[in-house]
Amino acid sequence: MRIRTTASLFFLIPLFYTTTAVAQSGTEVQAKVDSINVTPYKFIVSNLQKSVAVFRENVERAQSINYKYGEALAWDKLALATGMSGNHDEATKATFNALRIYEGLNAVDELSMLYAGFGYGIKRRDLSSAQKYMWKGLQLAEQNNLQKNLTTIYDNYGFVKNMQGKVDSAMHYYQKALTLKYALKDTVGIPYSLNKIGQEFAKEKNFKAAIKYFTESDTYRAQEEGDFGRCENLINWAELYDMMGKEDLAIAYFKRGINLGKKIAYKGAVQYCYGQLTKIYEELNKPALALQNFKREVSYKDSVVNVETNTKISELKIAYETEKKDRRISENELALKNKSLQLLVLVGASALILGLLIFSLWYYRQKQARLRKELELKTQLKQAELEKKISEEKLHISRELHDNIGSNLTFMISSLDNMEYLSKENSLQPKLQKLGEFGRETIDDLRNSIWALKKEDGDTDELIFKTNDLKRKISETLPKPEIIVENKLSQNYKLSSVQMLNLFRLIKEAVQNSIKHAQASTISISFLEEAGSFGIKIMDDGIGFDSQITQAGNGLENMKKRCDDAGGRFQIESSAKGTMVFFSKKL
């Protein structure tokens, strides 16, 4: 059972744990873990540094009593706090720790949010992977009608679409999020959607509509206890005034955003505001202020200053030095009005400096142009290789559709043609039931083939997710046998779409054979690493079979061929204690 807490309790918990000397029971520790894990989002983002410390401690607390769900949720919250603080390495590690535990617990609600949240967090570093993880979370939430989760996921997915230049898709998801939030009376989430829609109107120069949405957002922000939302709203107004050409108001609001961002340790917002001030001051031809704000922006970046940053600093320094030289020249001209020879020397020196600056600028632009051309050629080559690979993969999957689905549909059509001859027989009902089973199997095969066809590539995490979904579907109709899915992999491995389809069908066929013939009470599916190989082991505790007799059929040959197509080795063992099917592939 989860226990809710107030903001005051959230801040008192660390003090309590440092002063108490009373041993606590497992139940009390679990209650404490739960009370911290339900800390509201708005308190976390408004108190990032304190939140990081609290959730690190809560992870250890949950581990001390082997409380898996509490540990996963603590990792989840820690990923949020560290990511917002700019510590992306720790945030990524915390995310994958939480994902592994949630998958083992089949916690669909939490999985959908974590997949989507992780994708959104890496959007600026790896947009392709970001969309993949967010789409996985969105589908999971829609399939299970998780409306509260969808309010956040729709908003964030729209933002990713916007980054891809798909404005219409972005507005579609923003509107879906806002409509759902209004229906749920989500006063915390509504301003996020209002801001995103307002930003799109601002980009289209529809300032009147943008002001309407930003103003409504401010009314919700005013009711919040923390300053995180108000900081973001200040930045929205600053950007709007900048677009409207009201630079003074834009500068004032960006500075207010910086002050509030520093107060709540929101580094991303502070860095962004400094960057926007740099741009405005450059446009206003104030190089000294531009350089000052750019240096402050760099100090808030997570990584070491790169070549592009050094170039930018050099350009601003040149502009700044030029401004000082021009000012000195003016002063010297006034002082040396009667010294024509010295004035001539000064003018010549200035011309030489200007010539050097022009040459440096020309050389820099030529170098940048060469680098761009080289990058374009490399990109085109990689794209051609990728398209060839995709074409080959889709050809394999198309054959799968023809061979498996086509034969089943042919059988169904033949059965329907013969149905009129069975209408007077008592065996009509069993025939119809058998035909229905073939139809369901055909639809399932078609869905799995389409799932693989839509994938350009995949990984073991996705295969495990698909296996858990198969477990869920079987468990909904059959109470026995119990199906156990175990992920013992130390890392995630890449798989092609053909490999994913063949391995999933291998797992499905092995499980169905156990259900139909083995009379098993338990079936375990393990993803593991053995002797430098990636492996999948499917075991049951059924009655087994005589391998010499069974090998005469097509079932085992089909399973062996799927292993071959996936680039691996097939092995099967059976006895009176059960059956083991094993696939392995060298890493």
Encode pLDDT of 258-304 as tens digits: 999 888 888 888 999 999 999 999 999 999 999 999 988 888 764 43
The secondary structure of 398-462 as a DSSP string is HHHIIIIIHHHHHHHHHHHHTHHHHTTSTTHHHHHHHHHHHHHHHHHHHHHHHHHHH-S-EEHHH
134 plus 96 within the same structural domain? no
56 plus 165 within the same structural domain? no
User: What is the three-class DSSP state of 490?
Assistant: coil
38 plus 126 within the same structural domain? no
- Number of structural domains found in the chain: 3
State the pLDDT at residue 8.
Answer: 37
- Does residue 497 form part of some domain? yes
- Does residue 251 form part of some domain? no
Look at 10-19, 183-192, 280-289, 479-488 and tell me which has the smallest mean pLDDT: 10-19
Does 454 have pLDDT greater than 90?
Answer: no
State the pLDDT at residue 418.
Answer: 64
- Arithmetic mean of pLDDT, 439-453: 68
End residue of a domain, out of 75, 104, 133: 104
**Residue 579: what are its φ and ψ, rounded to 5°?**
-130, 140
Look at 51-60, 140-149, 253-262, 434-443 and tell me which has the smallest mean pLDDT: 434-443
- Does residue 38 form part of some domain? yes
End residue of a domain, out of 41, 69, 104: 104
Q: How many CB atoms lie within 10 A of CB 164?
A: 13
State the pLDDT at residue 487.
Answer: 93
- Does residue 33 form part of some domain? yes
Does 232 have pLDDT greater than 50?
Answer: yes
- Top pLDDT among 145 and 451 is at 145
Task: Answer for the pair 283, 245: CB distance below 8 angstroms, yes or no.
Answer: no
- Arithmetic mean of pLDDT, 438-467: 75
In tens, the pLDDT along 321-369 reads 455 465 566 666 666 666 767 777 778 888 888 888 898 888 888 888 8
Positive or negative, the CA dihedral 18, 20, 23, 27 is negative
State the pLDDT at residue 507.
Answer: 92
Does 554 have pLDDT greater than 90?
Answer: no
State the pLDDT at residue 541.
Answer: 92
Residues 6+ apart with CB under 8 A from 119: 129, 130, 131, 132, 133, 134, 135, 136, 137, 156, 160
Report the alpha-carbon angle 49-55-60, nearest 5. 135
Tokens of 462: 């996705």
- Arithmetic mean of pLDDT, 541-545: 88
- Arithmetic mean of pLDDT, 222-231: 87
In terms of residue numbers, what domain contains 49? 1-104
- Does residue 145 form part of some domain? yes
Look at 112-116, 343-347, 470-474, 557-561 and tell me which has the smallest mean pLDDT: 343-347
- Does residue 387 form part of some domain? no
End residue of a domain, out of 42, 77, 104: 104
137 plus 158 within the same structural domain? yes
- Arithmetic mean of pLDDT, 443-460: 70
- Does residue 98 form part of some domain? yes
Per the prediction, the chain carries an average pLDDT of 80
State the pLDDT at residue 375.
Answer: 85
Here the contacts of 302-310 (C-beta below 8 Å, separation 24 or greater) are 302/86, 302/88
5 plus 131 within the same structural domain? no
- Arithmetic mean of pLDDT, 459-486: 89
Q: How many CB atoms lie within 10 A of CB 40?
A: 16
CA 513 from centre of chain: 36
Domain of 538, CATH number, reads 3.30.565.10
- Top pLDDT among 212 and 447 is at 212
State the pLDDT at residue 10.
Answer: 39
Tokens of 135: 């789409």
Domain of 152, CATH number, reads 1.25.40.10
188 plus 150 within the same structural domain? yes
Task: Answer for the pair 113, 121: CB distance below 8 angstroms, yes or no.
Answer: no
In tens, the pLDDT along 117-169 reads 888 877 887 888 888 888 989 999 999 999 988 988 998 888 888 888 888 88
571 plus 507 within the same structural domain? yes
State the pLDDT at residue 67.
Answer: 94
Does 374 have pLDDT greater than 80?
Answer: yes
516 plus 578 within the same structural domain? yes
Does 434 have pLDDT greater than 50?
Answer: yes
Q: How confident is the model at residue 12 (pLDDT cuts 50, 70, 90)?
A: very low
- Does residue 545 form part of some domain? yes
48 plus 133 within the same structural domain? no
58 plus 112 within the same structural domain? no
- Arithmetic mean of pLDDT, 94-114: 88
What is the rounded distance in angstroms from the CA atom of residue 93 to the CA atom of residue 98?
9
